[in-house]
Structure 1
Amino acid sequence: MAQTEPLPSPAGAARLSGIPASPGVAIGPVARMAAPPSLPERRPEAGKPEEEADLARRALGRVADLLDQRAAGLTGEAAAVLGAQALMARDPELARRIGEHTEQGDPAAWAVSAACGAYQELLAAAGGYLAERAADLADIRDRAVALLLDLPMPGLPDPGVAHVLVADDLAPADTVQLDTERVLGIVTRYGGPTSHTVILARALGIPAVVGCAGAVDLADGVLVAVDGDAGTVAADPDEEQVEHVRRRAERRRALLAESTGPGRTADGTGVALLLNVGEGDPGKAGAHDSEGVGLLRTEFLFLERTDPPTVEEQTASYTALFEAFAGRVVTVRTLDAGSDKPLAFAATGQEDNPALGVRGFRTSRVHPGLLTEQLAAIAAAARTTSARVRVMAPMVSTPDEAAEFAALARGAGIERVGVMIEVPGAALLADRLLPRVDFVSIGTNDLAQYTMAADRTLGALPDLLDPWQPALLHLVGTVGGAGERSGRPVGVCGEAAADPLLAPVLVGLGATSLSMSAPSLPAVRRALALHTHSECRRMAELAVAASGAEQAREAVRAVAHPEVAAW
């Protein structure tokens, strides 16, 4: 198949590159986020240390209340993100650090800025989930400083027209407020492929490009064309390019509206298209045109609590979701927590590198009761519904660990048992691991991080975390081949599964199911329907043989169906 004509790029238009974050195209004028409040060069005389500390704590309390108010009107992951951020603002350790700075003579705003800055460095150094929260803490700092200095609160621009939002980065508190009727696209200077901005933008269906260094030069009102599939931004496009983008967007909307039903390749090979689901309205999740759930995140039941949820609490929550997916598959991931997602009731000890420590299935080594009670609750909920429930453990590294988890789950009464492949060691021994379980699911976000030795939260290395990296795809193919030889299903539930150009490659590597956010389903379904299984295998061979991520992407685009290549 031949490559389609590329998007026109007139000589007068500046073409910027970033990371493809959320699929789709958009065109509109730029509206920039205002710069965060900054401390004046001249520092005022501080009052009494205890008075300054009290001012700072009250400002943080107001920020926390604001975040709680916004979370109250939301559901799902957005509500969970804001709720966790509010708890950060109320963190006693942060208050203690602020007190240290006021004792040293800092005014309240300066104490907040210094304490948050030092705390951010600690979180960033910890890596993993904690590093992701460093950006959330920066937003807390900016809001508290604005209150203390009586400056405008950071927030979204309102130019009065539909626009493309441009920012250095977006905080969760702002991202969850985006109006999809007004915000046509998103471009950020920083951010990686697994940031909160990306996850929330995809859930909203807003085209987005992140990690775009040239975003700093985009001025308010400048017309831009955003390509969330290619990761490009064209500034000052001419009429031909504008018309091309509009036709492409209209054609894509029309084609995707027709894309319904089970996932299939052009020659009829079935590929189950599933949802990634967290906290939220089960009925709303179940209403989507999917074949079930490929990843049910259960952390929302455990995080931000002082004591673990009871078996009864868990059973009620699982039952509601299982009923919403009656007759369909529901894949439950057991608790993915540990030192990088700390639980107040399940300490795992101090670790210099939590991303390589006690997390996921490893948590059961220290607190076995958490897992056994969760499995009991899942089994109890499964017995009362018609959903085809299966369970998988995160962060399994060896065949013996897979066998251990399978024995525990089957002992609890769960028939279908699997594990996640997120560690290169597990992928390399997939032929030995798969016979111990009924299925596996590949988490490409963590597998990329561990394969490329690049922190998934570090914005400076987004190219190494690109799911098109041939080394990562090679490992996916290793697992896929083992699945074919053992006759066991292999799913992909990382963000890679949401890329319509990459989806056929994953199928060619042996994936039998793909799990993603709901807005991505139609494009992936359409992309698979336009390629035979043998074409998927050929695309996979080209991607794995490439020298780098960009070369892999372009090699596949060159042979993809013209419609998919044009996306």
Structure 2
Amino acid sequence: MPEELRGTGVSPGAGAGPVRTIAGAVPEPEAGSRHAGDADAERATALGALAAVAADLEERGARSVTPDGRDVLNAQALMASDPGLADGVAAKIDEGLAAARAVFEAFGVYREMLAGAGEYLAARATDLDDVRDRAVARLLGLPMPGVPASDEPFVLVARDLAPADTAVLDPATVVAFVTEEGGPTSHTAILARTMGVPAVVALPGATDLADGTPVLVDGTAGTVVVNPSADQVKRARAADRARTAHVAETSGPGATKDGHAIPLLANIGGPGDLESALEHGAEGVGLYRTEFLFLDRATPPTDDEQERAYRTVLEAFPKGRVVVRVLDAGADKPLAFLPPPGDEPNPALGERGLRMLRRHPDVLAAQLRALTRAASGLTAELQVMAPMVTSAEEAADFAAICREAGIDRPGVMIEVPAAALRSRDLASEVAFFSLGTNDLTQYACAADRQIGSLASLQDPWQPAVLDLVASTTAAGIATGVCGEAAADPALACVLVGLGATSLSMSAPSLPHVRAALARHTLAECRQAAGAARAAATAAQARRAAEAHLNP
């Protein structure tokens, strides 16, 4: 009999085929294993393996089927050739460790740093693990981990997928991805959406599925049906074809079926993301993550560097809006020139975002000056928002600083439950809100986004999170959504039904959300939202909403 498993859908569509699992897991080198005494030779062996891994990743990047894949693999190659990592390996070897163990432990230091450095960087820990495993496999003479060969289309199942494998996959052969770990911001999710391959992540027990087991993957619903019937597969494929056709036919500005306008915007990290945003029809930028200008630097970027980066984005949307989030730094995104005020036992609840910027007003002032100059003479609407805002007092202080700098559209992110519950107080101080559903869900459910076992609590379909969204929109000012919740077509409709006035997401998700909105009236979105809020669990909320939305 068919069995339905549920994870998190991160790339829409349906794919059916036999399970194939990633082969050749690399074991941890024996703890305390030591070399024979020639440290120079051992260092040369270890560094040679890292160099070979870097060269292989660069070659795979050249063969990547997507630009995103090429970028990911080039980034991994830089990890393998990082001088600091090489120094760490050499130091371990000087202590007497064998090459493989030295590499393993040196990577472990970097991994701990990434795991505690915020959602985006923590999601890169898997990339680092893959580089490590490839180097260790070379040093131990083991087969390289990788995607199995197959003469027929298959569903790739793994604990998590390494970018080096994902980026060179042929979508004609791999019809879907399923992983036990990962999330909406992992490279697996990003590349799956770019390639148009259905993907379900955070599915407990996925690797227990035996090779050859027939499965049906629905990346829209986040389900995997084990041993599906021929009729189930036929219906899923027909629905997928209809959905794909509708996506292709839907263009223009975002709007519901009855013409209620919902601007569809892109989340970006800098000018390098503009091509994809424009290609997928973004009407503007709903979240410009400016921290990417500041990462991996001993000093802040200069005023001119900032101005150029901001102006390039503003120039790309002469008739749209560009919503810039000021530097979201702190203990969970450490910057060398903005050290945290001491040890923080729980960085997610520490001094980050606006809390940190209030300790370093010169950094905020320089950023606002650069934004004002960048927008001068341009027609794009610049909006600037602060992250990690809790109170009306904080909102008022930020708005005053913005207006003093010449920015007349200040806003705040609603990602702290206290701000959502008292949104009416904050609304009188600023021009707009932007709901950061990733953090809002984490804080509302007390569930760290990096802990896979808590995935069910990190679901933005949680009725309590939907209640906080409704509380925020009730304040009566423009309220966009810039968390990954907006990339879920069904949830996007619910968010509109709850009162969201714009939606921002990763660029490849825009066409699917545009098509979903175009299929439903505002009244249907409101009915779906009401049904979802009345449910008791996240899974029930999704099913209740979908019952009110046309297939």
Same fold, judged at TM 0.5 (above): yes
Q: Distance in 2 between matches of 1:433 and 1:336?
A: 19
48-57 or 322-331, larger mean C-alpha shift: 48-57
For 1:228, the equivalent position in structure 2 comes to: 219
Q: 1:411 to 1:163 in 2, by over 3 A?
A: farther
Alignment of 1:28-427 (within 5 A): 28-39=17-28, 46-48=35-37, 50-51=39-40, 52=42, 55-60=45-50, 62-63=52-53, 79=71, 83=75, 86-87=78-79, 90=82, 92=84, 95-96=87-88, 99-100=91-92, 103=95, 105-117=96-108, 120=111, 124=115, 128=119, 131-159=122-150, 162-279=153-270, 280=272, 282-348=274-340, 349-427=342-420
Query: Is the Cα–Cα contact under 8 Å of residues 24 and 143 in structure 2 kept in the other structure?
Result: no
For 1:551, the equivalent position in structure 2 comes to: 540
Alignment equivalent of 2:511, drawn from 518, 522, 541: 522
Q: What SS class does the counterpart of residue 452 from structure 2 fall into?
A: coil
203-212 or 75-84, larger mean C-alpha shift: 75-84
Q: 1:379-411, CA deviations, whole angstroms, 9 ceiling, x for partnerless residues? A: 222114222221112222221221222222222
Query: Is the Cα–Cα contact under 8 Å of residues 430 and 478 in structure 1 kept in the other structure?
Result: yes
Query: CA offset at residue 192 of structure 1?
Result: 3.5
Q: 1:75 to 1:401 in 2, by over 3 A?
A: farther
Q: 1:4-54, CA deviations, whole angstroms, 9 ceiling, x for partnerless residues? A: xxxxxxx2x443332222222122343322232225779976222744456
Q: Distance in 2 between matches of 1:395 and 1:116?
A: 31
Query: Is the Cα–Cα contact under 8 Å of residues 168 and 189 in structure 1 kept in the other structure?
Result: yes
Q: Distance in 2 between matches of 1:299 and 1:326?
A: 24
Q: What SS class does the counterpart of residue 436 from structure 1 fall into?
A: coil
Q: What SS class does the counterpart of residue 216 from structure 2 fall into?
A: strand
Q: TM-score, normalised by structure 2?
A: 0.89
Whether 2:479 is the aligned partner of 1:460: answer no
Unaligned runs of at least 5 residues, structure 2: none
Q: 1:397 to 1:54 in 2, by over 3 A?
A: farther
For 1:428, the equivalent position in structure 2 comes to: 421
For 2:464, the equivalent position in structure 1 comes to: 471
Q: Distance in 1 between matches of 2:195 and 2:248?
A: 17
Query: Is the Cα–Cα contact under 8 Å of residues 37 and 146 in structure 1 kept in the other structure?
Result: yes
Query: CA offset at residue 293 of structure 1?
Result: 1.4
Q: Which amino acid aligns with 1:328?
A: G
Q: 1:58-89, CA deviations, whole angstroms, 9 ceiling, x for partnerless residues? A: 54455456556767888679737963883487
Query: CA offset at residue 471 of structure 1?
Result: 0.9
Q: Which amino acid aligns with 2:498?
A: L
Q: 1:157-215, CA deviations, whole angstroms, 9 ceiling, x for partnerless residues? A: 44365432221102344444444444321101222344342244334432111122342
Unaligned runs of at least 5 residues, structure 1: 1-10
Q: Distance in 2 between matches of 1:174 and 1:99?
A: 30
Query: Is the Cα–Cα contact under 8 Å of residues 85 and 107 in structure 2 kept in the other structure?
Result: no
Q: 1:278 to 1:40 in 2, by over 3 A?
A: closer
Q: Distance in 2 between matches of 1:402 and 1:42?
A: 52
Query: Is the Cα–Cα contact under 8 Å of residues 117 and 334 in structure 2 kept in the other structure?
Result: no
Query: Is the Cα–Cα contact under 8 Å of residues 61 and 90 in structure 1 kept in the other structure?
Result: no
For 1:3, the equivalent position in structure 2 comes to: none
Q: 1:220 to 1:39 in 2, by over 3 A?
A: same
Query: Is the Cα–Cα contact under 8 Å of residues 29 and 104 in structure 2 kept in the other structure?
Result: no
Alignment equivalent of 2:4, drawn from 3, 15, 20: 15
Q: Distance in 2 between matches of 1:78 and 1:422?
A: 33
Q: 1:69-115, CA deviations, whole angstroms, 9 ceiling, x for partnerless residues? A: 76788867973796388348737478548735762x43221233345
56-65 or 539-548, larger mean C-alpha shift: 56-65
Percent of pairs with identical residues? 52
Whether 2:505 is the aligned partner of 1:513: answer no
Query: Is the Cα–Cα contact under 8 Å of residues 120 and 134 in structure 1 kept in the other structure?
Result: yes
Query: CA offset at residue 428 of structure 1?
Result: 1.5
Query: Is the Cα–Cα contact under 8 Å of residues 123 and 182 in structure 2 kept in the other structure?
Result: no
Q: 1:362 to 1:388 in 2, by over 3 A?
A: same
Q: Distance in 1 between matches of 2:290 and 2:237?
A: 40
Q: Which amino acid aligns with 1:497?
A: A
Q: Which amino acid aligns with 1:48?
A: G
Query: CA offset at residue 502 of structure 1?
Result: 1.3
Q: Distance in 1 between matches of 2:69 and 2:323?
A: 18
RMSD (Å) for aligned C-alpha atoms: 3.0
408-417 or 105-114, larger mean C-alpha shift: 105-114
Query: Is the Cα–Cα contact under 8 Å of residues 292 and 329 in structure 1 kept in the other structure?
Result: yes
Q: Which amino acid aligns with 1:402?
A: A
404-413 or 452-461, larger mean C-alpha shift: 404-413
Query: CA offset at residue 514 of structure 1?
Result: 0.9
Q: 1:302 to 1:160 in 2, by over 3 A?
A: farther
Q: Which amino acid aligns with 1:289?
A: G
Query: CA offset at residue 477 of structure 1?
Result: 0.6
118-127 or 346-355, larger mean C-alpha shift: 118-127
Q: Distance in 2 between matches of 1:370 and 1:159?
A: 54
For 2:489, the equivalent position in structure 1 comes to: 500
Q: 1:76 to 1:29 in 2, by over 3 A?
A: closer
Q: 1:224 to 1:298 in 2, by over 3 A?
A: same
- Whose relative contact order is higher, 1 or 2, with alpha carbons under 8 Å and at least 6 apart? 1
Q: 1:160 to 1:389 in 2, by over 3 A?
A: farther
Q: Which amino acid aligns with 1:330?
A: V
For 1:4, the equivalent position in structure 2 comes to: none
Q: Distance in 1 between matches of 2:426 and 2:159?
A: 43
Q: Which amino acid aligns with 1:322?
A: L
Q: Which amino acid aligns with 1:380?
A: R
Q: Which amino acid aligns with 2:132?
A: R
Q: 1:402 to 1:91 in 2, by over 3 A?
A: farther
413-422 or 347-356, larger mean C-alpha shift: 347-356
